[in-house]
Structure 1
Amino acid sequence: MNEIVRVVVVGGGYGGVTAANSLARRDGVSVTLVNPRPEFVERIRLHQLLTGSDDAVESFGDVLGGNVRLVVDTATLIDATERRVSLAGGGTLPYDYLVYAVGSGASDPGVPGAAEFAESVSDLEAAERLRAALAATPATAPLTVVGAGPTGLETAAELAEAGRRVTLVCGKVLGPSLHAAGRRPVARRLAELGVTVLEGPGASVTEVTGDAVRLADGRELPSSVTIWTAGFRVPDLAVRSGLLTDAEGRLLTDGTLTSVGDDRIVAAGDSASMSDHPFRMSCQAAVQLGPAAASTILRRIAMKKPAPVRMFFAGQCLSLGRNEGVTQFSYPNDKVNALRVSGRPGAGVKEIACRFTLNKLLSGARKAGSGTPRASRGDGAALPETPRSEQRTTTSGTS
């Protein structure tokens, strides 16, 4: 390699950070990571932010290697022909290869009143707004969580354990991604915490107002704060940039995570959609896809054929408050089985999984160069040194 290869990573979530650190370990590769926030968000802990048991953020100085340049800005357009990324701050970043890792956020509920009145816990800013809304609401006021996937279950349990009155609106079934055997300890724990669980054909939301939730079967639930956790969407950056995407806007790739139609763009995390092997949007997938995306780029730089991605899933870990949890095991292809760990051991496994994930990022950062990442705005100006509590922004679109 006779000249520096420029790689731009768009998105600083689990997939983007692991990709950037893997790339930055290679001599002759210059890595720039673009993210709208100056901090890394531990999305798997955002439900803990609501009750104050964790702030759900880590310094990029800890999780990102010193060989990675951090640009705190939002990517607005990818020009694949000219190979450059336009930024909201007015600057542009040229690239030889690009990692598309913009993550995901809350989906449009498509239910009257939900966009106006429902809160979310899908990203840091939404979780902070929700925490403020909860702080302004009496402890005895009724809360409604809509959606019984992992985010809804963890949010409902966290709030109920803190003494809140919570109703969980499941739609058809509690924990649809779980095995039937795994649903039983979840239902038991929610009952112990006093969560009212509504499931079945009539338990779908038809309207949200400022103080109520209406269901398909005609019931009206009083709700001082409604929290929508059903479904995620990806930012529309790929669509706006004219790249090939699936129906949900995720970048279409082949088995090596390479964008269909452009071998200079490789995807990682929730924003990737392998056309022949779809996978569940999750942190567990992202921490595998990030290094895999880096490997594809490094093999192309070395004039070698990239290898297809091989994914391995172990299961799903749920925290049901701070004292109990459920770990649902799966086959390597992500199909769940009847094996599970529940109660306090389940909570312990979930905490181990969270710490293991963070330690994986910290280890990757150490291998990607010592020192603090070079941080700047999109116009190239250095960011001032400020306390973590002052480094929050209100932009969105990436993890």
Structure 2
Amino acid sequence: MKNDRRIVILGGGYSGLMTAVRLARRARRTGARITVVNPADQFVERLRTHQAVTGQDLAVLRIPDLLAGTGVAFVRAAATAIDADARTVTLDNGTTLGYDTLVYAIGSTTDTGRVPGADVHAFTLDGARAAGFAARLRELGPGDAVVVCGGGLTGIEAATEIAESRPELRVTLLGTDRPGAMMGDRARAHLDRALDRLGVTVRTGARVARVLAGSVELEDGATVPADACLWTAGVRAPALAADAGITVDDRGMIVVDGTLRSVSHPDVHAVGDAAAIRLAWGRVHGTCQSGIPTGQYTADAIARLLRDRPLAPFRFGYFHQPVSLGRRDAVIQFTRPDDTPRRAYLKGRAAVLYKEAVSASPWKMYRLGKRMYVTSIVSRGGRATREAVPYRPAEDVGSERVESGSR
């Protein structure tokens, strides 16, 4: 069956590339034309950003190489506007792409807009700001202070990586809750010991009031010296979808139905951090663990739509919380589908090997996916995910976890 459908995928991260590689194989006999659009041709391993900023040499992975042999076209450009009615995307290179199906995989960035001064005086692990943080770390000397704001998994990995690679620096981790609050007691105890061993000062219950040029001011009036501040608390999606009139939530993420299609524009599929997904057990938070399965599901869903076949709703459950604690230690908390902790966990060398396997798995999966069908879904969430539930805005979700980065 030949239908000559134009499928445009915006974003070449974990979710976007999974969609592209799998869809190329699923739709190879349909005549569909698939194009991936991304501002850079290098694939950013967000699972390793905390390593990159501390000066570690990482493998260079290029998107064209990962797509080679799939028939997928690659355009190095950034999308500047979407006309959802005309079904076109305007790029910063002056060209316009038409589409019949759009996959929105642009993802999210760290939200520095909610606390005064964070957007000016704090670095993040996103793009150019990550490079700026790496440069700033190189300028620091013995006794200088680094403050990591955000006690989630991203903040923990960054703080421990900095403390291990630069033991002469004073590293402080600020968070409203204790590090590893979502873990079980034994995994969290190992995490606490690692932070203490690496000399990381942990301040819990710390709500940041504002970020200044050389310090972080807390709501209780205390001031924490900061020769460099790294912000890892909270995420927000770009305004591209909202500006196009596509329905988004309060953080700019596209509100989707049970098949990960926009509730306002069904020809738009949202994956990864770009999608506001809610299952029966709660809201899916942005991680590599959930993002790649959304790409896999969406590739299969589009292939079925090309053949006029019905869709089953997206099903997913979490399996683990892998956390690096520098290069020589880690902790892995195994979880129930709703991301609450099970009894099982790994620590030490076994956890390091496990975490490295997890970090290296996506690009290996892309390469293997060119030749065969591979799955990225470890858990489908059990009975609770057999039917989608209505979306609820973030302010109604309560204590469900939100953090930057991908795990």
Name the TM-score, length of structure 2 as normaliser: 0.86
Deviates more, 1:245-254 or 1:170-179: 170-179
Structure 1 residues 294-303 or 154-163, which shifts more? 294-303
Q: 1:29 pairs with 10, 28, 32, which one?
A: 32
Structure 2 residue runs of 5 or longer lacking an equivalent are 374-405
| Partners of 1:266 and 1:293 within 8 A in 2 | yes
User: Which stretch shifts more, 182-191 or 208-217?
Assistant: 208-217
Deviations 1:307-347 (A, max 9, x none): 21111321110000000001011112322223211122211
C-alpha spacing 1:363/1:322, structure 2 compared with 1 (3 Å): same
Select the residue among 88, 91, 94 that pairs with 1:87.
91
SS of the equivalent of 1:318 reads: strand
Q: Does residue 1:98 correspond to 2:102, yes or no?
A: yes
Look up the match of 1:69: 73
Residue in structure 2 matching 1:361, options 359, 366, 371: 366
Identify the residue that residue 374 of structure 1 maps to in structure 2.
none
* Aligned twin of 1:389: none
Q: Which residue of 2 aligns with 1:78?
A: 82
- Residue matched to 2:312: 307
Q: Given that residues 19 and 298 in structure 2 are in contact (C-alpha distance below 8 angstroms), is that contact kept between their aligned partners in structure 1?
A: yes
Residue aligning to 2:124 = 120
Q: Deviations over 1:217-266 (max 9, x none)?
A: 22222110011111111111110100011222111111111111322111
1:375 counterpart residue number: none
Mapped partners of 1:306, 1:290: distance in 2: 15
Matches within 5 A, 1:244-393: 244-276=247-279, 278-365=283-370
* 1:214 Cα deviation after fit: 1.6
**In the alignment, is the contact (CA less than 8 A) between 2:278 and 2:284 conserved in 1?**
no
1:157 and 1:41 map into 2 onto residues whose CA distance is 21
Query: How far, CA to CA, are the matches of 2:217 and 2:183 in structure 1?
Result: 26
The answer to whether the 8 Å contact 2:235/2:251 transfers is no
Matches within 5 A, 1:51-62: 51-55=54-58, 57-62=60-65
Unaligned runs of 5+ in 1: 369-398
Q: Distance in 2 between matches of 1:323 and 1:104?
A: 30
For 2:185 and 2:81, the matched residues in 1 are separated by 44
Residue-by-residue CA offset, 1:264-308 (whole Å, 9 max, x unaligned): 111111111135553111001111000111111111110111121
Task: Give the aligned residue type for 2:235.
Answer: F
Pairs within 5 Å for 1:125-274: 125-162=128-165, 163=167, 164-200=169-205, 203-274=206-277
Query: Percent sequence identity over matched residues?
Result: 39
SS of structure 1 residue aligned to 2:269: strand
Deviation for aligned residue 1:136: 1.5
Which letter does structure 1 place at the counterpart of 2:32?
Answer: V
Alpha-carbon RMSD: 1.8
Report the counterpart of residue 389 of structure 2 in structure 1: none
SS, match of residue 230 in structure 1: coil
What are the superposed Cα offsets for residues 187-228 of structure 1, whole Å, 9 maximum, x if unpaired?
Answer: 11000000011113xx22112211111222222221100111
Summarize deviations over 1:41-90 as a string: whole Å, max 9, x none: 00000000022224375111332243111111111222222111111222
Q: Which has the higher contact order (CA 8 A, sep 6+)?
A: 1
The answer as to whether partners of 1:165 and 1:195 remain within 8 angstroms in 2 is yes
8 Å contact kept, 1:143–1:225: yes
Deviates more, 1:323-332 or 1:177-186: 177-186
Q: Which moved more, 1:60-69 or 1:72-81?
A: 60-69
How far, CA to CA, are the matches of 1:299 and 1:191 in structure 2?
Answer: 52
The farther-off stretch of 348-357 and 5-14 is 348-357
> Match for 2:335: what amino acid?
S
| Partners of 1:345 and 1:205 in 2: CA distance | 36
Q: Which residue of 1 aligns with 2:3?
A: 3
Provide the C-alpha distance between the structure 1 equivalents of 2:230 and 2:74, rounded to a whole number of angstroms: 33
- Counterpart contact for 2:8–2:103, Cα < 8 Å: yes
Deviates more, 1:9-18 or 1:211-220: 211-220
Secondary structure in 1 aligned to 2:48?
helix
Aligned to 2:378: none
Instruction: Give the drift of 1:104.
Output: 0.9
TM-score (norm 1): 0.87
